[in-house]
């Protein structure tokens, strides 16, 4: 639409220039009845067609009506207003005029009207001073002048009159930039919009020969190329991965969201009647309901340790059911991944020390709120070596969290079915000015390691933390639903900066 209108404006300007030899943008705007700026735009684009027109910039004096001037041009001058308000027969008192018209208009208008001899102040027979009309008809010249000026016809008006009106604050003087367009050396009225692109069709048909092409603008800024953007969680994940790799850890395969209860709970010495194994806390699979493969021989040993009096443990003294262990669930922690890996290591002919880590998704049947989701990510690491102690765990936690910029740590005893001792890790947050929980940790129990077949003097220290928490702190996100899930604004992913943990 706009393009077509612009086209015809170009044509119209060229026609006028062809007829008159030259034309000013101000005159053109008035003739075409359109905005001056639009005409200037069209002239500028004609100027870009080489030598079709010559354009000369001119500065002209312009007179503009002030807002009071506009009011007068529409409603008449103060003097005419006062004249109109005076009773033609009995006259009117100044006090009355002031009341009808306001004090300023009455005073100003009276002064002008008296000077113009339209009105006079006389004493009545009763001795009262009143304003009377002196003529029966008036011509509101100020109004007429202002209307002329509004139509930009100030050329016809005497300088003195303009100055008078300026003094009365009805006019103000300004300058306007106008452009004088005249024929250029390659003047034509037959302009074609220059092509922006040479197409295959133009080459095939030969139509390019008759066309003009827009010159390349080599200083134009390019468009940003479209590209993918990593979610903040993925950015923070790669930072954590980097830390583990620097510390000599190997990543575990985590590609199974569906896990058997066996690896998620039983292998971790978590009793079958434990509340965490309830449908309120864990998502159970309907189909397939049961896991296909569980190592029988090992499961037998797990049964023994749960039931008790085996591997030096009293166990839980209950009837362990294979059926329960086979139930498929969505894994509730990545410790299930660690359990699988430790079992695999125990199958080696000779054990050798290892350091492993994982960062992946887990699922819990939670009530959702600003800090809890049904799926989130866990970061987990373990070291398996001969004779590791709690001191080794504390040492490695200091080293690990130091790489995240957390040097001020506190440990608090806690309980996990699979670790003994167990410690929650707290770090002092300088900005939030409080201790915040940053992880959970412990030494895996013999009840977990011995049934797997690991040598008796091998111990495993392990810790885990959430990926969401440091990400929310890092990116200043207070509601977890703004970070992850169906309510996430993709623009957030697009806009978020690189992640660099303060190491
Ligand atoms: N699995 C624990 C959790 O879900 C974390 C943890 C990992 C604790 C390893 C101790 C050892 O919070």
Q: What pLDDT is recorded for position 502?
A: 67
135 and 238 belong to one structural domain? no
pLDDT category at 430 given cuts 50, 70, 90 is confident
249 and 126 belong to one structural domain? no
42-49 LR contacts (CB < 8 Å, sep 24+): 42/6, 42/9, 42/10, 42/13, 43/13, 43/179, 43/181, 45/6, 45/10, 46/10, 46/13, 46/14, 46/181, 46/191, 49/191, 49/194, 49/212
pLDDT category at 412 given cuts 50, 70, 90 is very high
Between 440 and 309, name the one with better pLDDT.
Answer: 440
Tens of pLDDT, residue by residue over 160-195, are 889 999 999 999 988 888 999 999 998 988 877 778
Q: Ligand 1 pocket, 463 CB below 6 A? A: yes
Please report whether residue 187 resides in a domain.
no
132 and 240 belong to one structural domain? no
d(CA 266, CA 283): 16
418 CA to centre of ligand 1 in angstroms:
9
Please report whether residue 84 resides in a domain.
yes
Q: Residue 295 in contact with residue 260, Cβ under 8 Å? A: no
Tens of pLDDT, residue by residue over 235-256, are 899 999 999 999 999 999 999 9
Give the percent of the chain with pLDDT over 70. 98
Q: What pLDDT is recorded for position 40?
A: 93
Q: Ligand 1 pocket, 332 CB below 6 A? A: no
Q: Ligand 1 pocket, 444 CB below 6 A? A: no
Roughly what angle, to the nearest 10 degrees, separates helices 103-115 and 78-85?
Answer: 90
Longest CA pairwise span in the chain (Å): 136
103 and 243 belong to one structural domain? no
**Ligand 1 atom closest to the CA of 444, numbered from 1:** 11
467 and 338 belong to one structural domain? yes
Please report whether residue 416 resides in a domain.
yes
**Helix (H) and strand (E) counts in the chain:** 19, 14
Confidence check: pLDDT of 275 > 80? yes
d(CA 190, CA 55): 18
133 and 277 belong to one structural domain? no
End of a domain among 139, 166, 192?
A: 139
Instruction: Give the three-class secondary structure for 245.
Output: helix
Q: What pLDDT is recorded for position 5?
A: 52
Q: What pLDDT is recorded for position 228?
A: 85
Q: Residue 140 in contact with residue 80, Cβ under 8 Å? A: yes
237 and 110 belong to one structural domain? no
Q: What pLDDT is recorded for position 6?
A: 52
Confidence check: pLDDT of 2 > 50? no
130 and 248 belong to one structural domain? no
Please report whether residue 388 resides in a domain.
yes
Q: What pLDDT is recorded for position 1?
A: 40
- Burial of 231-267, coded b for 16+ CB within 10 Å and e otherwise, reads bbbebbbebbbebbeeeebeebebeeeebbbbbbbbb
pTM, to two decimals: 0.59
Residue 355 phi/psi, 5-degree rounding, is: -130, 125
Query: Whole-number mean pLDDT of the chain?
Result: 91
Q: What pLDDT is recorded for position 486?
A: 85
Q: What pLDDT is recorded for position 202?
A: 93
Please report whether residue 73 resides in a domain.
no
125 and 265 belong to one structural domain? no
End of a domain among 120, 139, 158?
A: 139
Q: Which helix (H) or strand (E) holds 122?
A: strand 119-123
Q: Residue 338 in contact with residue 369, Cβ under 8 Å? A: no
Confidence check: pLDDT of 46 > 80? yes
pLDDT category at 136 given cuts 50, 70, 90 is very high
Please report whether residue 169 resides in a domain.
no
Nearest CA to ligand 1 atom 4: 333
d(CA 241, CA 400): 12
Q: Among 333, 376, 393, 396, which is best to mutate for testing ligand 1, by the most ligand atoms less than 8 A from CB?
A: 333
Instruction: Give the three-class secondary structure for 307.
Output: helix
- Work out how many domains the chain is built from and give that number: 2
Q: Ligand 1 pocket, 442 CB below 6 A? A: yes
End of a domain among 86, 116, 139?
A: 139
pLDDT category at 19 given cuts 50, 70, 90 is very high
Please give the average per-residue pLDDT across 42-71, as a whole number.
Answer: 89
Between 337 and 432, name the one with better pLDDT.
Answer: 337
Q: Ligand 1 pocket, 265 CB below 6 A? A: no
Domain of 99, in residue numbers? 78-139
Q: Which helix (H) or strand (E) holds 108?
A: helix 103-115
Among residues 428, 425, 398, the alpha carbon closest in space to that of 414 is found at 425
439 CA to centre of ligand 1 in angstroms:
8
Q: What pLDDT is recorded for position 7?
A: 53
Confidence check: pLDDT of 4 > 60? no
Q: What pLDDT is recorded for position 485?
A: 86
Please report whether residue 39 resides in a domain.
no
**DSSP states along 333-378:** -THHHHHHHHHHHHTSSS---EEEEEEEEEE-----BTTB-SEEEE
314 CA to centre of ligand 1 in angstroms:
23
CATH of the domain at 134: 1.10.10.2330
348 and 471 belong to one structural domain? yes
335 CA to centre of ligand 1 in angstroms:
6
Q: Ligand 1 pocket, 440 CB below 6 A? A: yes
CATH of the domain at 415: 3.30.930.10
| DSSP strand pairing (375-386 vs 354-363) | antiparallel
Q: Residue 67 in contact with residue 190, Cβ under 8 Å? A: no
128 and 252 belong to one structural domain? no
Tens of pLDDT, residue by residue over 349-402, are 999 999 999 999 999 998 888 888 899 999 999 999 999 999 999 999 999 999
Would you state the structure tokens that stand for residue 101, as one six-digit string?
């018209």
Please report whether residue 389 resides in a domain.
yes
Q: Residue 152 in contact with residue 36, Cβ under 8 Å? A: no
Q: Which residue has the tokens 């009995």?
A: 90
């Amino acid at each position: 639409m706009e393009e077509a209108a612009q086209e015809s404006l170009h044509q119209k300007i060229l026609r006028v220039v062809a007829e008159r030899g030259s034309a000013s943008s101000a005159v053109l705007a008035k003739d075409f009845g359109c905005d001056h700026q639009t005409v200037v735009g069209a002239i500028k684009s004609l100027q870009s067609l080489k030598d079709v027109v010559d354009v000369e910039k001119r500065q002209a004096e312009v007179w503009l009506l002030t807002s009071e001037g506009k009011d007068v041009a529409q409603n008449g001058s103060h003097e005419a207003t006062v004249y109109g308000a005076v009773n033609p027969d009995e006259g009117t008192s100044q006090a009355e005029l002031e009341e009808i018209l306001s004090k300023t208009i009455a005073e100003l208008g009276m002064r002008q009207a008296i000077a113009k001899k339209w009105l006079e102040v006389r004493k009545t027979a009763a001795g009262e001073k009143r304003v009377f009309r002196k003529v029966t008809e008036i011509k509101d010249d100020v109004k007429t002048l202002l209307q002329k000026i509004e139509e930009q016809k100030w050329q016809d008006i005497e300088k003195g009159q303009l100055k008078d009106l300026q003094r009365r604050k009805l006019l103000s003087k300004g300058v306007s930039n106008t452009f004088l367009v005249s024929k250029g050396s390659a003047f034509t009225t037959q302009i074609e919009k220059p092509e922006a692109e040479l197409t295959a069709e133009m080459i095939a048909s030969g139509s390019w020969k008759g066309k003009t092409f827009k010159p390349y603008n080599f200083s134009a800024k390019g468009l940003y190329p479209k590209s993918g953007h990593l979610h903040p969680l993925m950015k923070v994940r790669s930072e954590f991965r980097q830390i583990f790799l620097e510390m000599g850890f190997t990543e575990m395969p985590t590609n199974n969201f569906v896990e058997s209860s066996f690896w998620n709970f039983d292998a971790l010495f978590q009793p079958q009647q434990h509340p965490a194994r309830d449908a309120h806390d864990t998502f159970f699979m309907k189909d397939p309901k049961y896991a296909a493969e569980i190592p029988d021989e090992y499961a037998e040993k797990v049964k023994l340790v749960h039931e008790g009096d085996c591997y030096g443990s009293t166990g839980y003294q209950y009837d362990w059911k294979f059926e329960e262990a086979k139930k498929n669930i969505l894994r509730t922690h990545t410790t299930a991944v660690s359990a699988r890996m430790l079992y695999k290591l125990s199958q080696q002919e000779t054990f050798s020390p290892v350091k492993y880590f994982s960062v992946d998704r887990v699922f819990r049947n939670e009530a959702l709120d600003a800090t809890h989701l049904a799926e989130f990510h866990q970061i987990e690491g373990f070291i398996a070596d001969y004779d590791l102690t709690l001191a080794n765990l504390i040492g490695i936690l200091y080293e690990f969290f130091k790489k995240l910029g957390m040097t001020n740590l506190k440990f608090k005893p806690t309980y996990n079915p699979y670790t003994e001792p167990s410690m929650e890790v707290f770090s002092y947050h300088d900005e939030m000015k409080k201790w915040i929980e940053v992880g959970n940790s412990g030494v895996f129990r013999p009840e977990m390691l011995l049934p797997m077949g690991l040598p008796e003097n091998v111990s495993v220290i392990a810790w885990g933390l959430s990926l969401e928490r440091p990400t929310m702190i890092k990116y200043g996100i207070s509601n977890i639903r703004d970070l992850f899930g169906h309510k996430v604004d993709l623009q957030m992913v697009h806009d978020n900066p690189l992640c660099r943990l303060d190491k």
